[in-house]
Amino acid sequence: MDIKSGFDLFNTNKVKRVKYRFVVLRDDSFKEVASVKLTKRNMVILSSTIFVSLVFITAMLIIYTPLKYYIPGYQGDFGYRSKILKLEYSTDSILTAMAANNMKIANINNVLNGTFDSTYNKKGLKPQVKTDTINLFSISPEDEALRNEMKMMQGTSLKYSDKKSVNTNSDESIYNLYFFPPVKGIITSKYDAKQGHYGVDVVAPVDEPVKACLDGTIISSNWTLDGGYEIAIQHANNLVSIYKHNSKILKKIGNFVKAGEVVSIIGNSGEKSTGPHLHFEIWKNGVGMDPANFIKF
């Protein structure tokens, strides 16, 4: 080996063994505060350690904190979405039920306070008919045609208890009168005077309106322990019709009603009621009559 080659080898080994020192000095006195000896390998290891630590910390923050929801394209947990939808549906159902209950309570208060407006229909809208255009003391051509059609179908002479055509002192038979069915339904309990059942029980849909069977005047509109909400109507020819177990009464004592006019709502009031139905009675001269003989329910 020549002298030049040995010198080059010496310089190469010396370069490989070069170390670095990282020194922290005070600015005013240049006093050494701290120092760290570093080599190229230590620098690579330190840099790699810091990089891996930062990556690990970032991954933990994304996985275990809500930060992951801010990442574009993250789909999230589908379980949370289904729970949110269920909560929305439940909230909507609760609000609907609350609105219905509030309306029901308001209607009950109106009935108890006597402020219920019977001119509203089931949808809460008033009928588009002007009351001042209805003549209660004359028969319209349409009404007359309908009565003639009913007369031909039933083959009987129909009599109507309006103020012009009926004499209250007449002995006209009850069988010649045309009774408007109070409700359309099924008779579940027939007239039986021996058992003290002086009427018929008719089952009809819930909230079915109960109508007056003939023209007349309300003579009773109250609550009884057995019959619940009851209403009684005095008709011509000493006839009285009674409607029991109503849920609402829509007329007051002294009101004049026409045949087919709504007077109450079917219900289940009173201790003797076992379900929603109408107990309907007809009395003539103080004697109970079987309503099924005059009305087809």
- How is 78-138 classified by DSSP, letter by letter? HHHHHHHHHHHHHHHHHHHHHHHHHHHHHHHHHHHHT---TT--TTS---S--GGG--TTS
pLDDT (0 to 100) of residue 213: 94
- 157 neighbors 151 (Cβ within 8 angstroms): yes
**Can you tell me which residue has the tokens 């006093």?**
31
What's the burial of 227, exposed, middle or buried (CB within 10 Å: 0-12/13-18/19+)? buried
Q: Going residue by residue through the chain, which has 297 residues, state the pLDDT in tens, using 9 for 90 and above.
A: 455 555 455 455 554 566 778 788 888 888 888 887 777 787 888 889 999 999 999 989 888 887 777 777 665 655 666 777 788 888 888 998 998 899 889 888 887 877 765 555 555 555 554 545 556 556 677 777 777 777 665 544 334 333 333 333 344 567 778 899 999 999 999 999 888 899 999 999 888 999 999 999 999 999 988 889 999 999 988 899 999 999 999 999 999 999 999 999 999 998 888 888 999 999 998 888 999 988 888
Neighbours of 272 (CB within 10 A): 14
For position 175, what pLDDT does the model report?
A: 75
Res 167: pLDDT: 37
Per-residue model confidence (pLDDT) at position 177: 84
CATH 2.70.70.10 residue window(s) in the chain: 168-293
- Determine the pLDDT at residue 36: 78
Do 264 and 244 touch, CB atoms closer than 8 A? no
At 168 the pLDDT is: 37
Positive or negative, the Cα torsion across 177, 178, 180, 184?
Answer: positive
Determine whether domain 168-293 maps to CATH 2.70.70.10: yes
In this prediction the pTM is 0.44
pLDDT at 160: 39
| Single-letter amino acid, residue 190 | K
The pLDDT of residue 43 is: 81
CA separation for the pair 186, 39 (Å, rounded) = 104
- Burial (CB < 10 A; 0-12, 13-18, 19+), residue 111, is middle
Please tell me the distance from the alpha carbon of residue 110 to that of residue 116, in angstroms, as a whole number: 5
